[in-house]
Amino acid sequence: MSKNIAIIGAGLSGLTAAHALKDAASITLFDKSRGVGGRMSTRYAGDYEFDHGAQFFTARDPRFQNAVEIAIEQGLVAPWNGRAFYKKDTGLEPDTGGDRFVAVPRMNSWAKSMAEGLDISLGARVSRLLRADGQWNLQFEDGQMKGGFDAVISAVPSVQAEALLPADFSAMEAIKATKMDACFALMIGLDQGHDFGWDSLRVNDNVNDWLAVNSSKPGRNEHVTTLMIHSAAEWSNAHANADRAWVQAEMEASASRICGIDISAAPHRVLHRWLYASVSASPRQGALHDPALNVTACGDWCLGGRVEGAYLSGLAAADNILSNA
Protein backbone atom coordinates (compact mmCIF):
# COMPACT_ATOMS: atom_id res chain seq x y z
CA MET A 1 0.00 0.00 0.00
CA SER A 2 1.29 3.46 -0.89
CA LYS A 3 1.89 5.44 2.24
CA ASN A 4 1.79 9.08 1.17
CA ILE A 5 -0.80 10.07 -1.41
CA ALA A 6 -1.22 13.53 -2.91
CA ILE A 7 -4.68 14.41 -4.23
CA ILE A 8 -4.80 17.41 -6.55
CA GLY A 9 -8.26 18.97 -6.47
CA ALA A 10 -10.63 19.27 -3.51
CA GLY A 11 -13.89 19.09 -5.44
CA LEU A 12 -16.29 16.24 -4.72
CA SER A 13 -14.20 13.64 -6.58
CA GLY A 14 -10.98 14.48 -4.71
CA LEU A 15 -12.73 14.68 -1.34
CA THR A 16 -14.51 11.37 -1.94
CA ALA A 17 -11.23 9.65 -2.84
CA ALA A 18 -9.61 11.15 0.28
CA HIS A 19 -12.34 9.76 2.54
CA ALA A 20 -12.17 6.33 0.97
CA LEU A 21 -8.38 6.19 1.46
CA LYS A 22 -7.78 8.06 4.68
CA ASP A 23 -7.74 5.00 6.93
CA ALA A 24 -5.26 3.20 4.70
CA ALA A 25 -2.80 5.97 3.82
CA SER A 26 -1.64 9.46 4.66
CA ILE A 27 -3.51 11.86 2.40
CA THR A 28 -2.70 15.46 1.48
CA LEU A 29 -5.03 17.46 -0.74
CA PHE A 30 -4.04 20.51 -2.77
CA ASP A 31 -6.43 22.96 -4.40
CA LYS A 32 -5.73 26.16 -6.25
CA SER A 33 -8.91 27.84 -4.97
CA ARG A 34 -9.54 29.61 -1.68
CA GLY A 35 -12.17 27.06 -0.67
CA VAL A 36 -13.13 23.44 -1.25
CA GLY A 37 -15.98 22.08 -3.38
CA GLY A 38 -14.79 23.00 -6.87
CA ARG A 39 -17.79 23.38 -9.14
CA MET A 40 -20.21 22.69 -6.26
CA SER A 41 -19.82 26.32 -5.39
CA THR A 42 -21.59 29.33 -3.94
CA ARG A 43 -21.06 33.08 -4.51
CA TYR A 44 -22.14 35.68 -1.95
CA ALA A 45 -22.98 39.36 -2.36
CA GLY A 46 -24.66 40.86 0.69
CA ASP A 47 -28.06 39.19 1.11
CA TYR A 48 -27.75 37.55 -2.28
CA GLU A 49 -26.19 34.16 -2.70
CA PHE A 50 -25.95 31.94 -5.73
CA ASP A 51 -25.03 28.35 -6.45
CA HIS A 52 -23.29 29.42 -9.63
CA GLY A 53 -21.92 25.97 -10.53
CA ALA A 54 -23.86 22.75 -9.92
CA GLN A 55 -27.57 23.47 -9.60
CA PHE A 56 -28.79 20.23 -8.07
CA PHE A 57 -27.94 16.56 -8.24
CA THR A 58 -29.72 13.29 -8.77
CA ALA A 59 -28.77 9.94 -7.24
CA ARG A 60 -29.21 6.78 -9.29
CA ASP A 61 -26.33 4.53 -8.24
CA PRO A 62 -26.96 2.81 -4.86
CA ARG A 63 -23.54 3.93 -3.57
CA PHE A 64 -24.32 7.57 -4.22
CA GLN A 65 -27.89 7.12 -2.96
CA ASN A 66 -26.43 5.84 0.29
CA ALA A 67 -24.06 8.82 0.57
CA VAL A 68 -26.93 11.22 -0.11
CA GLU A 69 -29.12 9.52 2.51
CA ILE A 70 -26.38 9.89 5.12
CA ALA A 71 -25.85 13.53 4.16
CA ILE A 72 -29.59 14.15 4.50
CA GLU A 73 -29.52 12.66 8.01
CA GLN A 74 -26.58 14.96 8.82
CA GLY A 75 -28.51 17.99 7.59
CA LEU A 76 -26.03 18.61 4.76
CA VAL A 77 -28.32 17.75 1.85
CA ALA A 78 -32.06 18.20 1.27
CA PRO A 79 -34.49 17.49 -1.56
CA TRP A 80 -35.32 20.46 -3.77
CA ASN A 81 -38.98 20.15 -4.64
CA GLY A 82 -39.05 23.23 -6.85
CA ARG A 83 -41.54 23.67 -9.68
CA ALA A 84 -39.54 22.37 -12.64
CA PHE A 85 -40.55 22.98 -16.26
CA TYR A 86 -39.35 22.88 -19.83
CA LYS A 87 -40.22 25.91 -21.93
CA LYS A 88 -41.57 24.62 -25.23
CA ASP A 89 -43.11 26.52 -28.15
CA THR A 90 -46.46 25.21 -26.97
CA GLY A 91 -46.00 26.39 -23.36
CA LEU A 92 -44.53 24.97 -20.16
CA GLU A 93 -44.20 21.22 -19.75
CA PRO A 94 -43.25 19.48 -16.49
CA ASP A 95 -39.54 18.65 -16.24
CA THR A 96 -39.80 15.14 -14.88
CA GLY A 97 -36.53 13.58 -13.84
CA GLY A 98 -35.31 11.82 -10.74
CA ASP A 99 -35.59 13.46 -7.32
CA ARG A 100 -33.42 16.58 -7.10
CA PHE A 101 -31.12 17.23 -4.18
CA VAL A 102 -29.07 20.23 -3.12
CA ALA A 103 -26.49 20.73 -0.40
CA VAL A 104 -27.79 22.94 2.42
CA PRO A 105 -27.67 25.70 3.27
CA ARG A 106 -25.40 26.22 0.25
CA MET A 107 -24.10 24.05 -2.54
CA ASN A 108 -20.58 24.08 -1.07
CA SER A 109 -21.77 23.00 2.42
CA TRP A 110 -21.44 19.26 1.84
CA ALA A 111 -17.87 19.59 0.55
CA LYS A 112 -16.95 21.85 3.48
CA SER A 113 -18.17 19.21 5.89
CA MET A 114 -16.27 16.46 4.04
CA ALA A 115 -13.11 18.58 4.24
CA GLU A 116 -13.15 18.69 8.03
CA GLY A 117 -10.24 16.75 9.51
CA LEU A 118 -8.45 16.33 6.17
CA ASP A 119 -5.03 17.80 5.45
CA ILE A 120 -5.80 20.35 2.71
CA SER A 121 -3.58 23.11 1.29
CA LEU A 122 -5.67 25.83 -0.38
CA GLY A 123 -4.40 28.44 -2.81
CA ALA A 124 -1.96 25.77 -3.99
CA ARG A 125 -1.95 25.41 -7.77
CA VAL A 126 0.10 22.41 -8.83
CA SER A 127 1.89 23.11 -12.09
CA ARG A 128 4.05 20.00 -12.57
CA LEU A 129 4.62 16.48 -11.30
CA LEU A 130 8.24 15.37 -11.12
CA ARG A 131 9.40 11.84 -10.41
CA ALA A 132 12.62 11.09 -8.54
CA ASP A 133 13.73 7.84 -6.88
CA GLY A 134 10.27 6.30 -7.37
CA GLN A 135 8.50 9.14 -5.59
CA TRP A 136 6.47 12.08 -6.78
CA ASN A 137 7.27 15.71 -6.14
CA LEU A 138 4.70 18.41 -6.74
CA GLN A 139 5.79 21.74 -8.14
CA PHE A 140 3.53 24.70 -7.49
CA GLU A 141 3.04 27.76 -9.66
CA ASP A 142 5.07 29.88 -7.24
CA GLY A 143 8.01 27.53 -7.80
CA GLN A 144 7.79 25.78 -4.43
CA MET A 145 8.06 22.01 -4.26
CA LYS A 146 6.51 19.41 -2.01
CA GLY A 147 7.89 15.92 -2.25
CA GLY A 148 7.79 12.40 -0.95
CA PHE A 149 4.52 11.12 -2.39
CA ASP A 150 4.22 7.45 -3.31
CA ALA A 151 1.13 8.04 -5.44
CA VAL A 152 -0.78 10.94 -6.97
CA ILE A 153 -4.46 11.29 -7.71
CA SER A 154 -5.44 14.01 -10.13
CA ALA A 155 -9.03 15.12 -9.39
CA VAL A 156 -9.21 18.10 -11.71
CA PRO A 157 -11.09 18.70 -15.01
CA SER A 158 -9.67 16.75 -17.98
CA VAL A 159 -8.00 19.71 -19.70
CA GLN A 160 -6.19 20.58 -16.48
CA ALA A 161 -5.27 16.90 -15.96
CA GLU A 162 -3.77 16.78 -19.46
CA ALA A 163 -1.53 19.74 -18.63
CA LEU A 164 -0.53 18.31 -15.26
CA LEU A 165 0.03 14.60 -15.71
CA PRO A 166 3.24 13.11 -17.15
CA ALA A 167 3.18 12.69 -20.93
CA ASP A 168 3.73 8.94 -20.52
CA PHE A 169 0.61 8.49 -18.34
CA SER A 170 -0.93 5.32 -19.81
CA ALA A 171 -4.42 6.80 -20.29
CA MET A 172 -3.31 10.14 -21.74
CA GLU A 173 -5.18 9.45 -25.00
CA ALA A 174 -8.46 8.97 -23.12
CA ILE A 175 -7.89 12.28 -21.31
CA LYS A 176 -7.18 14.05 -24.59
CA ALA A 177 -10.32 12.59 -26.18
CA THR A 178 -12.51 13.93 -23.37
CA LYS A 179 -14.47 17.05 -24.23
CA MET A 180 -15.65 19.57 -21.67
CA ASP A 181 -17.89 22.53 -22.47
CA ALA A 182 -17.89 26.08 -21.20
CA CYS A 183 -20.80 27.81 -19.46
CA PHE A 184 -21.52 31.39 -18.46
CA ALA A 185 -23.34 31.78 -15.16
CA LEU A 186 -25.29 35.01 -14.80
CA MET A 187 -26.24 35.85 -11.21
CA ILE A 188 -29.23 38.14 -10.83
CA GLY A 189 -30.43 39.60 -7.52
CA LEU A 190 -33.85 41.26 -7.57
CA ASP A 191 -34.96 43.93 -5.12
CA GLN A 192 -38.47 42.61 -4.67
CA GLY A 193 -40.11 39.20 -4.53
CA HIS A 194 -40.95 37.64 -7.88
CA ASP A 195 -42.95 34.55 -8.67
CA PHE A 196 -42.25 33.50 -12.23
CA GLY A 197 -44.55 30.47 -11.94
CA TRP A 198 -41.54 28.15 -11.99
CA ASP A 199 -38.48 27.51 -9.87
CA SER A 200 -36.40 25.97 -12.64
CA LEU A 201 -36.84 26.25 -16.35
CA ARG A 202 -35.01 24.49 -19.13
CA VAL A 203 -35.10 26.52 -22.32
CA ASN A 204 -33.76 26.14 -25.81
CA ASP A 205 -33.23 29.62 -27.20
CA ASN A 206 -29.59 29.19 -28.34
CA VAL A 207 -28.23 31.62 -25.74
CA ASN A 208 -29.50 30.36 -22.37
CA ASP A 209 -30.51 26.83 -21.50
CA TRP A 210 -31.28 27.00 -17.77
CA LEU A 211 -32.90 29.45 -15.39
CA ALA A 212 -33.46 28.75 -11.71
CA VAL A 213 -34.79 30.67 -8.75
CA ASN A 214 -31.86 30.02 -6.43
CA SER A 215 -33.82 31.39 -3.46
CA SER A 216 -36.41 28.62 -3.91
CA LYS A 217 -33.89 25.99 -2.81
CA PRO A 218 -34.16 24.74 0.77
CA GLY A 219 -32.19 26.68 3.38
CA ARG A 220 -31.56 29.73 1.17
CA ASN A 221 -32.43 33.32 2.05
CA GLU A 222 -36.08 33.50 1.00
CA HIS A 223 -36.40 37.25 1.68
CA VAL A 224 -34.78 38.07 -1.65
CA THR A 225 -35.30 36.60 -5.11
CA THR A 226 -32.15 35.36 -6.77
CA LEU A 227 -32.08 34.08 -10.30
CA MET A 228 -29.35 31.85 -11.73
CA ILE A 229 -29.05 31.78 -15.50
CA HIS A 230 -26.76 29.45 -17.45
CA SER A 231 -25.83 29.80 -21.09
CA ALA A 232 -26.15 26.85 -23.48
CA ALA A 233 -23.00 24.74 -24.08
CA GLU A 234 -22.66 25.33 -27.82
CA TRP A 235 -23.17 29.10 -27.48
CA SER A 236 -20.79 29.22 -24.50
CA ASN A 237 -18.03 27.39 -26.39
CA ALA A 238 -18.44 29.69 -29.39
CA HIS A 239 -18.26 32.83 -27.24
CA ALA A 240 -15.98 31.70 -24.41
CA ASN A 241 -13.50 34.49 -25.15
CA ALA A 242 -15.98 37.11 -26.33
CA ASP A 243 -16.32 40.51 -24.67
CA ARG A 244 -17.93 39.86 -21.27
CA ALA A 245 -20.23 42.90 -21.47
CA TRP A 246 -21.57 41.62 -24.79
CA VAL A 247 -22.06 38.09 -23.38
CA GLN A 248 -23.94 39.48 -20.39
CA ALA A 249 -26.13 41.71 -22.57
CA GLU A 250 -27.07 38.75 -24.81
CA MET A 251 -27.91 36.57 -21.81
CA GLU A 252 -29.93 39.33 -20.17
CA ALA A 253 -31.92 40.01 -23.35
CA SER A 254 -32.75 36.31 -23.67
CA ALA A 255 -33.66 36.03 -19.97
CA SER A 256 -35.83 39.17 -20.12
CA ARG A 257 -37.89 37.63 -22.93
CA ILE A 258 -38.29 34.42 -20.95
CA CYS A 259 -39.05 36.00 -17.55
CA GLY A 260 -41.21 38.89 -18.74
CA ILE A 261 -39.23 41.48 -16.75
CA ASP A 262 -36.25 43.64 -17.66
CA ILE A 263 -33.37 41.63 -16.24
CA SER A 264 -30.88 44.38 -17.18
CA ALA A 265 -32.58 46.64 -14.59
CA ALA A 266 -31.91 44.23 -11.70
CA PRO A 267 -29.83 45.77 -8.88
CA HIS A 268 -27.35 42.88 -8.79
CA ARG A 269 -25.98 41.38 -12.00
CA VAL A 270 -22.71 39.46 -12.10
CA LEU A 271 -21.32 37.17 -14.78
CA HIS A 272 -18.97 34.24 -14.19
CA ARG A 273 -17.34 32.11 -16.85
CA TRP A 274 -16.73 28.41 -16.34
CA LEU A 275 -14.33 27.14 -18.96
CA TYR A 276 -14.87 23.49 -18.03
CA ALA A 277 -18.43 23.10 -16.78
CA SER A 278 -19.99 20.00 -18.32
CA VAL A 279 -18.82 16.96 -20.25
CA SER A 280 -19.83 16.10 -23.82
CA ALA A 281 -17.32 13.29 -24.55
CA SER A 282 -16.24 10.98 -21.73
CA PRO A 283 -14.09 7.85 -21.35
CA ARG A 284 -16.98 6.33 -19.37
CA GLN A 285 -14.55 4.64 -17.01
CA GLY A 286 -14.63 5.13 -13.24
CA ALA A 287 -11.05 6.38 -13.05
CA LEU A 288 -7.89 6.10 -15.16
CA HIS A 289 -5.13 4.32 -13.31
CA ASP A 290 -1.49 3.82 -14.26
CA PRO A 291 -0.06 1.24 -11.84
CA ALA A 292 3.48 1.62 -13.18
CA LEU A 293 3.54 5.34 -12.40
CA ASN A 294 1.26 5.18 -9.35
CA VAL A 295 -0.84 7.94 -10.86
CA THR A 296 -4.64 7.97 -11.10
CA ALA A 297 -6.92 10.46 -12.81
CA CYS A 298 -10.49 10.92 -11.64
CA GLY A 299 -13.22 13.52 -11.87
CA ASP A 300 -16.77 13.88 -13.13
CA TRP A 301 -15.52 13.77 -16.73
CA CYS A 302 -14.51 10.10 -16.33
CA LEU A 303 -18.19 9.17 -16.00
CA GLY A 304 -19.93 11.68 -18.24
CA GLY A 305 -20.01 14.62 -15.83
CA ARG A 306 -22.30 15.68 -12.99
CA VAL A 307 -22.07 15.50 -9.23
CA GLU A 308 -22.93 11.81 -9.05
CA GLY A 309 -20.22 11.05 -11.63
CA ALA A 310 -17.66 12.98 -9.56
CA TYR A 311 -18.54 11.00 -6.44
CA LEU A 312 -18.39 7.62 -8.21
CA SER A 313 -15.14 8.52 -9.95
CA GLY A 314 -13.53 9.48 -6.62
CA LEU A 315 -14.58 6.10 -5.24
CA ALA A 316 -13.19 4.33 -8.31
CA ALA A 317 -9.85 6.12 -7.94
CA ALA A 318 -9.59 4.92 -4.34
CA ASP A 319 -10.61 1.37 -5.34
CA ASN A 320 -7.87 1.30 -7.99
CA ILE A 321 -5.24 2.29 -5.47
CA LEU A 322 -6.46 -0.09 -2.77
CA SER A 323 -6.69 -3.05 -5.14
CA ASN A 324 -3.19 -2.41 -6.52
CA ALA A 325 -1.66 -2.10 -3.06
**Rg of the chain taking only CA atoms, in angstroms:** 20
From the list 83, 93, 96, the residue with the least C-alpha distance to 196 is 83
> What does DSSP say about strands 101-103 and 77-79: parallel, antiparallel, or unpaired?
antiparallel
54 counts as binding ligand FAD under rule CB under 6 A: yes
**Which of 180, 300, 315, 321 lies at the binding interface for ligand FAD (CB under 6 A)?**
300
Q: Which positions from 240 through 279 interact with ligand FAD, judged by CB under 6 A? A: 274, 277
Is 54 or 263 the residue whose CB approaches ligand FAD more closely?
A: 54
Residue 249 CA to residue 252 CA, distance in Å, equals 5
By CB under 6 A, the count of residues binding ligand FAD is 38
Q: Which stretch binds ligand FAD (CB under 6 A): 60-68, 91-99, 188-196, 303-311?
A: 303-311
Residue 17 CA to residue 120 CA, distance in Å, equals 13
Q: Which positions from 65 through 124 interact with ligand FAD, judged by CB under 6 A? A: none
Is 53 or 283 the residue whose CB approaches ligand FAD more closely?
A: 53
- DSSP secondary-structure letter at 38? T
40 counts as binding ligand FAD under rule CB under 6 A: yes
13 counts as binding ligand FAD under rule CB under 6 A: yes
From the list 45, 43, 71, the residue with the least C-alpha distance to 57 is 71
**Which of 152, 155, 187, 316 lies at the binding interface for ligand FAD (CB under 6 A)?**
155
Residues 209, 233, 173: CA angle, nearest 5 degrees: 150
20 counts as binding ligand FAD under rule CB under 6 A: no
Please name the residues in contact with 95: beta carbons below 8 A apart, sequence gap of 6 or more.
84, 85, 86, 200, 201, 202
55 counts as binding ligand FAD under rule CB under 6 A: yes
Residues that bind ligand FAD (CB under 6 A): 8-14, 30-33, 38-40, 53-57, 125-126, 155-157, 160, 164, 183, 185, 230, 274, 277, 299-300, 305-307, 309-310
